């Protein structure tokens, strides 16, 4: 049994999580879909950043901040179903 996942597996799983979040959000559970989407997108951006050879901070900070703002917006939605 493996000790950990490879970065390609993490990227694929996070893309699957993003797709599930989109489907849940479209089907009517906007808050849950947004939370799942933000978590999947942040995992994808972290995995992608760690695979890059030239690491610039803006390529990590900007996507993570967008995911954090989406997560906060999802929590503050009034009467989201």
For residue 31, the enclosing domain spans 7-75
12-27 residue pLDDT tens: 889 899 999 899 989 9
Q: Is residue 31 part of a domain?
A: yes
Q: Is residue 81 part of a domain?
A: no
Tally of CA atoms within 13 A in the half-sphere of 56 that contains its CB: 4
| pLDDT, position 69 | 92
| pLDDT, position 80 | 53
Contact in structure between 21 and 33 (CB atoms under 8 Å): yes
Q: Give CA–CA dist 63/53, Å, rounded.
A: 18
Indicate the number of domains in the chain: 1
Q: What is the pTM of this model?
A: 0.81
* pLDDT surpasses 60 at 1: no
62-81 residue pLDDT tens: 999 999 998 998 888 776 55
Contact in structure between 71 and 40 (CB atoms under 8 Å): no
């Amino acid at each position: 049994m493996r000790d950990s996942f490879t970065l390609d597996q993490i990227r694929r799983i996070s893309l699957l999580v993003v797709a599930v979040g989109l489907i849940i959000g479209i089907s009517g559970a906007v808050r849950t879909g947004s939370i799942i989407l933000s978590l999947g997108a942040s995992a994808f951006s972290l995995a992608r950043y760690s695979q890059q050879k030239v690491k610039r901070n803006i390529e990590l900070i900007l996507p993570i901040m967008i995911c954090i703002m989406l997560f906060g917006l999802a929590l503050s939605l009034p009467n989201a179903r």
